Chain A
Amino acid sequence: MSLSTTDIKRIAHLARIEVNDTEAEATLVKLTGILGLIEQMQAVDTTGVTPMSHSQDVSQRLREDVVTETDQRTLFQKNAPPVGNGSAEPAVEKGLYLVPKVIE
């Protein structure tokens, strides 16, 4: 599998990570090496093998569909990123997180 810098930029966009041309070039070299390592898997015949998604053959527990968490919004919002422009105040207002406007 050979990648191009266009592929790197497409993957980076899917991952929501900004990369410039220089970073894309550098990432291409490293990712090509890693994907070369990963390609070793293709030589293995896995016909009839059931995929193993969990370390042990157990099913995860279910719980009653009831609220168990208490409201800690004020506490959690203390960790909101700062508003910016020199202010360290958390980007929250009336219990809501502030982000750029998405609806005109």
Chain B
Amino acid sequence: MTSGTNSTVDLEAPEPGTGASTIGRNPWQPNRQHIPVLATLTLLAFMYGLGVVNYEGFGDIQVVLNVFVDNAFLLVVAVGMTFVILTGGIDLSVGAVVALTTTLGATLLNAGWPAYVVLPLLLLLGTTLGVSMGAVIHYFKVEPFIATLAGMFLARGIALLINRNSIPIDNDFWVSVAQQRVRFDKGVFISSSVIVALAVVLVAALVLAWTRFGRVVYAIGGNADSALLMGLPVARTRIAVYGISGFCASLGGVLYSFYTLSGYSLHANGLELDAIAAVVIGGVLLAGGSGYLFGTVLGVLVLGLIQTIITFEGTLSSWWTRIVVGVLLFAFIVLQRVVTGKRAVRRTD
């Protein structure tokens, strides 16, 4: 056991006050909390290096930017999922909410509703669904797993009921935003969705790191009962977290409809698992209370880079993606387990 944690008393150490060496940790030794994120960062760099060495054209800046372009919606959804998982919960409904958002959006736009009405309506819908699930989870003590499962059935069911076919979107606003590119150089660009996604990440990171709300989120994940006894607003925060996840899911749905310019009730099948995987790979503890949003961003990039490598390889089939993601999940969970030590054991018990 190193003296990384504050609670550990090093018996070999000199008396407190006689030497500062035991109080401050070795500046060259990373904070244990940061190890999972650093591991993900190392992996990302390693994967990128592997790609650059093995494939011609992999080093283009546009390849990296395309990872963002193709995964902007996943990034937004994963941000919401991070909030929920930090409180120790889980949200299985996000994929279905994305599908519902695209289907409803496409239907309303085709019915002639103006975009400035449809867009807020979609975001409001996702947020409302999230808040209701949060309320059921908190007040009626229904397991998050089951409550959000019901939300998943509900959202996917409504989407199927609205239209079971794929609906193309030809609304002027939607098309123009979807085709909007921010160009840096000749052939180097990002889509407008990337800007939205990065803005969401930035705001969420600031909220988590600097606000009272963010601290309560971590506190609930650490121990909800203690948080309650400390007088923190557990009810409000927990419900808000599911609301944020619902909002992010519907925003992710809007970005997805920009990406595909279509609405389909079977869009984003299994997206919730991708989001959970990204969060876990990013080093957020599924038991809650520990992790960083930056890790989630890295997790999404890892997933995106796996896809890119498989595309560049050409001969590798798509199912290798699943297997590689599974192996990575395993590696990161074991790493977390090693890093966090006994804590995880107590939580599983």
Do A and B belong to a common assembly? no
